[in-house]
Each structure stands twice: as C-alpha cells, then as structure tokens.
Amino acid sequence: MTITTLRRQLLAWETSPAAILTKLAGEIAARDQGRTGAYLSHHLDTALAEAANTDLSLPLGGIPIAIKDNINVLGQPCTCGSKFLENFISPYDATVIRKLRAAGAIPFGRMNQDEFAMGSSTENSALGITRNPHDPTRIPGGSSGGSAAAVADHTAIAALGSDTGGSIRQPASHCGVVGLKPSYGRVSRYGLVAFASSLDQIGPLTQSVEDAALILQAIAGPDPLDSTSLDAPVPDYLRALNAGVKGLKLGIPKEYFGEGIHPGVRKNVEAAIQSLAAQGAEIVEISLPHTEHAVATYYVIAPAEASSNLSRYDGIRYGHRAANPTDILDLYKKSREQGFGPEVKRRIILGTYVLSSGYYDAYYSRAQKVRTLIRRDFENVFKSVDAILSPVAPTPARKLGAAGADPLQEYLSDIFTIAANLAGLPAISIPCGTTDFDGGKNLPLGLQIIAPHLAEAKLLQIAKAAER
C-alpha cells in the first residue's frame, strides 16, 4: 500500500504501526529472504519499540521507511555493501533519519546496494546480489537496487536511496517504481557515506509520486552539519501536485533519442510524451550538445572524488583490519586489498590516476570544464522550457551476469541519468509501461523528467500528470 493509503487507515484506527511492521516482517521472510535479497538486515524489535511512541498526527506518523545501507542509523549496521564495513555499527543518525523520525516515520531495514554505491546492478555488493522482483533472473538496477526491489516487491512501503549518477532513477525504472533525485543541496548529505561528494544526493523510492512528495517534504531543507546544503525555502510539494501540465513547455532532447535505445523503450516514452501533450503541454525539440561527453566526464570526476573519500579506509580507525601485517604500510595494503571489491578498486585506481601529477590538468581539470559546459546546456534550455523528458535507461533490466568482464558497457547504461548529477538538477523516474527484452516479458521501464535547480515542485507536478 502507499503511504497515503496507510496514513488514512492509521488515522481511522483501522491498523497500527506495529501491525504494519509485523506484516512487513512476514513479507520479508516469505518473499525477500532467499529470493529477492533486497534486505541485508531488519530489526523488528527495535522498530516495534519505536512504533510504540509514534505520534500518528505527524505527516509520516507510523510509516516504516527502508534505508539504503550507506545512510547511517544509530545502532544499526552501515556496511555500504562492503566487506570493509561488514561489522560496522553506526554511532549516530544521518540528518535525513533525524528528519524522518521528526515527521513520525520509522526507519526499518537495511537495503542492499552496490559496494560503496559504485555500480548499476547491485551485483557489486560483497554481501550478496539482489534480484529484480519482476524477473528474478535480472538485475534490479543500482546502486540503490535493494531499495527499489523492496518497494516493487511490496516488502517495503517506501525507501531512501542515494543517487550519484542515476542510482535512484535507474533501479526505479528497472523495478517499476518512482525514484526521485533532488537538486544538489536540497537534502542534507550529513550521515551519507560519501562516494563522490559533488554528485551524491539522497532521495526517495516510492510507489507513487505523491508518496515521493511526502518524503521529500520531510527530508528537504538546510542543515548546519552539511556545508553543501542550501539555505533555501522548502515549498509545499503537495500543494500544486494536481495542477496539471496545461500551458507548460516540455523539451525533448534530440541527443537522448538516437541510436542504442531499445524500440520498446522508445515506444513507451513517446507514448508518455503524447499523453502529456494531450493534457495541454507544449512539446518542443531541444538540444543538449555536450551530452556525448557526459559519461566520460562523470567517470573522471566521480572516481577522482571516490579515491579521495575512500582513503580514510586504512584498517586503523574502523572497518576491516588485516591480520599479521609486517609494518604499517603492509597493514594499509592488505586491509584495502581484502576489504574492497574489484569495482571499488577499479574506480580508486582510475581516480588516483586522473589526480596524479602530470595527468591532473589533462583529465580532472578538463573534465571540470566540460562539466561547466554541460550545466550551461541545461541553463540555456531552461530559458525556453519548464522541464525535460527522456528515457531513464536505453534498455530494460538486463540479465544477471550479462555485463561480463566489460565494465564500459555498464557505465554506458547511465548515459541518460549522469548529466543531471553533473549539473546538480532534480530528476525523477516514473513507471512508463513495460516491454519485452532479451527473452524477458513485460519488463518495467521509466520516464525521466528533469527540472531546473530547486524546481522539485514543478518536477512533481509534471510527474503526477504523467503518472495519471
């Protein structure tokens, strides 16, 4: 059930937070464990104790929210899907967790993810893979694959994920749920384990656009503990949710509809665009000329920031510590060799290379300049349109293991989502029908909507019209 439906039942005393939690725990045991694998852990007794003191009059009073395993919750594991943090217990609450609790929500469940959020399939988790509930032979997407799969499998009411280059929107598309990446700075990152600090953003995965608006309302706003959070007013996201799209201009980037898109994706996205036109929106073709450089730019900047952020994992202060080192340098080497998986190592090596002496200007500095060009493309387009429509991914969910030993093909699957992160813009994926792909039947896919910076209210308004 959606948050909205459960809230009505809670306020009418037709159910209780304890009953909802107990029901979810039963669904997790029946469908997730040994099948979907979205949950790394869940703590029913702790959640029931918290539910006993929940104020049902609050906006999210009594609603359990699943949490991606790179967001800290006091007293719970925060593994980031990595052996390095396999036994780490968080000593504090992230700001988004504190805000969810202030709104009456109950954090429940630690969701699987690609290790340190590095991946697009949730196959890179060191703690087990997650499967797509629509077809268990396929990926759920990533890196927030556990969060998306649980919402799609109805073993979670809603969930939080993080999005660095599409890690909320792509799994939302593959699993057929709503996934919202807010503007950079709209939601505090304090308590989010950093992958790439200039790109990361926390956001909701839900069963409806209205539910996404409810959660964003709770977690948005400035935070003195995060210097990158913006001191900007937070509008009422529900107020204009049903205002429709009549009179709005929606841009279709020609660069997002070229070669490589599966015919079923193109057909469904174009049908969604026509449905918005039928509701009164004006559809115009636009150009984002630097789109072709987005993937290369991202895979210079993101690994560079990752190599810096992950240098703290040294086997000294916390996390995995190698046994019997010969000296301090050997301790560093062995701890990181044993603790990190292959994809994380690949990105650390790549990031260290582009930041190294003699290569910084050739790669990292140049990538930052191209990032500015990509941001300017969006700024120019938003002078004439209210939002942009596109596919989320070129294809539906691929089969588990199909990427093989070629990480480049996996990186290219984020071609339509990366640019919004580089430009710091809000973007959402909403379900957009199903199609057949690579032997799979009726696989979900998503429509992506991108809006100007801090225009989440307009983004949700358009998403609601498309959902309708």
Euclidean distance between CA atoms 203 and 168, whole angstroms: 7
Which of 85-89, 209-213, 409-413 shows the lowest mean pLDDT across its residues? 409-413
Euclidean distance between CA atoms 300 and 134, whole angstroms: 34
Which of 325-339, 397-411, 443-457 shows the lowest mean pLDDT across its residues? 397-411
In DSSP notation, 333-355 reads HHHHHHHS-HHHHHHHHHHHHHH
Specify the pLDDT at position 413.
87
**Is the model's pLDDT at 404 over the cut of 90?**
no
Please report, for the domain that includes residue 432, its CATH number.
Answer: 3.90.1300.10
pLDDT tens profile 252-277: 999 999 888 999 999 999 999 999 99
CB burial readout 32-52, b (16+ within 10 A) else e:
beeebbbbbebbbeebbebbe
Q: Write the single-letter amino acid at 439.
A: G
- SS3 per-residue string spanning 141-157: CCCCHHHHHHHHCCCCC
CA 455 from chain center: how many Å?
Answer: 18
pLDDT tens profile 135-194: 999 999 999 999 999 999 999 999 999 999 999 999 999 999 999 999 999 999 999 999
Euclidean distance between CA atoms 363 and 346, whole angstroms: 17
Own/partner long-range contacts of 289-294 (Cβ < 8 Å, ≥24 apart): 289/255, 289/377, 290/370, 290/373, 290/374, 290/377, 291/253, 291/255, 291/256, 291/374, 291/377, 291/415, 291/419, 292/255, 293/370, 293/373, 293/374, 294/374, 294/415, 294/418, 294/419, 294/422
pLDDT tens profile 308-331: 999 999 999 899 999 999 999 999
**Is the model's pLDDT at 1 over the cut of 90?**
no
**Is the model's pLDDT at 405 over the cut of 80?**
no
**Is the model's pLDDT at 75 over the cut of 90?**
yes
Average of per-residue pLDDT across 339-365: 95
Residue 180: strand, helix, or coil: strand
Euclidean distance between CA atoms 145 and 280, whole angstroms: 35
Specify the pLDDT at position 412.
86
Show Cβ contacts of residue 34 under 8 Å, excluding neighbours closer than 6 positions.
Answer: none
Helices (H), 191-312: 209-219, 263-278, 294-309
Residue 426 near residue 454, CB atoms below 8 Å: yes
- Neighbour tally for 203: CB within 10 Å: 31
pLDDT tens profile 229-241: 999 999 999 998 9
Specify the pLDDT at position 408.
80
Specify the pLDDT at position 406.
77
Task: Write out the two tokens for 455.
Answer: 């225009």
Question: Residue 357: pLDDT band by 50, 70, 90 thresholds?
Answer: confident
Domain limits for position 342: 1-468
pLDDT tens profile 100-122: 999 999 999 999 999 999 999 99
- What amino acid positions are annotated as catalytic residues? 68, 143, 167
pTM score, whole prediction = 0.97
Name the nearest CA neighbour of 60 among 247, 193, 219, 200: 219
Rounded mean pLDDT of the chain? 96
Specify the pLDDT at position 409.
79
Alpha-carbon distances of 46 from 109, 131, 365, rounded to whole Å: 11, 27, 47
Show Cβ contacts of residue 50 under 8 Å, excluding neighbours closer than 6 positions.
Answer: 101, 106
Average of per-residue pLDDT across 389-398: 97
How many domains is the chain built from? 1
Average of per-residue pLDDT across 357-364: 92
**Is the model's pLDDT at 410 over the cut of 90?**
no
Question: Residue 442: pLDDT band by 50, 70, 90 thresholds?
Answer: very high
Q: Write the single-letter amino acid at 333.
A: K
